[in-house]
Amino acid sequence: MQFTSEQHLDDDVIERAFSLGEIPGILWTPVAASASAPVPLILLGHPPLGLHKMYPRLVARARDAVADGFAAATIELPGSGDRPRSAAAEQARTALRRTVEAGEPVDAETVDALVLPLVDKAVPEWQAALDALLSLPGIGGPVGYSGGVISIGIRLAAVEPRISAAVLFAGSLVPAAMVEEARRITVPLHVLLQWDDEGNDRQAALDLFDAFGSKEKTLHANMGGHTGVPQFAGDAAAQFFIRHLK
């Protein structure tokens, strides 16, 4: 892991860009962190639109996390931002776009082709990032994962024992195979669902929530459309991490 830039966002937050091999990432830490005890870490998931495009929302989430006493970090997803495109992924995206534009139901094959290769590639990268991040001074466990492509969160929570709690956003297509993986998750989960999210299958999201194996799982359903998660829902998710990571 190599740091490529560092800036103070204000008196409280240090933002450092890094690269982990070919993968760019960003780390946000409290200014006071190096002097005090290591802080827990929240991994910030995001949709595959590229870190640059997602930056405004990511930095807002990171500032909130740091204000709550956490470090926060994210990495670019495979095939997003400046990372090399995969022909198969581009083909799957095109197929999805055509299906949606034609007003047709999205079939399982299209979902699998779109999501499963992304999960297979992204999850080991998040794990490698975790190795590097947890070796830094000032960052300790426990670790939370928050948001983004829900199938990446499912796989990470299912296979990575260092993830102690996860906030998942039920806002994207989920392959049937991931629903099966969801049954293996045991860590506390806080699941956000936008009830009136037109691009999302509500029943599939409810079935997924039902499948999670965790004894403590909470579903927070709100109004406001796909991108309209209310401020109070974000606050409740923050409280969930404070309860479980501190």
Instruction: Determine the interface stretch with its own copies among 49-57, 146-154, 172-180, 236-244 (rule: CB under 8 A).
Output: 236-244
**Closest to 208 measured CA to CA, from 187, 224, 185, 236:** 185
Residue 71-110 contact track with its own copies, rule CB under 8 A, x = bound? ----------------------------------------
By CB under 8 A, residue 164 contacts its own copies: no
Q: Which is nearer to its own copies, 134 or 206 (CB)?
A: 206
Contact 26, 51 (CB under 8 A): yes
**Closest to 167 measured CA to CA, from 144, 150, 190:** 190
Q: Which is nearer to its own copies, 173 or 191 (CB)?
A: 191
Q: Which is nearer to its own copies, 176 or 223 (CB)?
A: 223
Residues 202 to 221: which contact its own copies by CB under 8 A? 206, 209-210, 215-221
At 47, the amino acid letter reads P
The correct pick among 195, 199, 207, 228 for binding its own copies (CB under 8 A) is 195
Q: Which is nearer to its own copies, 177 or 219 (CB)?
A: 219
Instruction: Determine the interface stretch with its own copies among 30-38, 112-120, 130-138, 232-240 (rule: CB under 8 A).
Output: 232-240
C-alpha span between 89 and 170 (Å, rounded): 21
Tokens at 152, concatenated: 């990446």
By CB under 8 A, residue 186 contacts its own copies: no
Instruction: Determine the interface stretch with its own copies among 19-27, 95-103, 114-122, 231-239 (rule: CB under 8 A).
Output: 231-239
Cβ 215 to its own copies shortest distance, Å: 6
The region, left, alpha or beta by phi > 0 then psi within -120 to 50, assigned to residue 224 is left
47 SS3 class: coil
Instruction: Determine the interface stretch with its own copies among 13-21, 68-76, 110-118, 235-243 (rule: CB under 8 A).
Output: 235-243
3-class SS letters over 85-140: CCHHHHHHHHHHHHHHHCCCCCCHHHHHHHHHHHHHHHHHHHHHHHHHHHCCCCEE
Q: Is the dihedral of CA 225, 226, 228, 234 positive or negative?
A: positive
Q: Which is nearer to its own copies, 127 or 218 (CB)?
A: 218
Tokens at 141, concatenated: 């466990």
Binding site for its own copies (CB under 8 A): 195, 206, 209-210, 215-223, 230, 232-233, 235-236, 239-240, 243
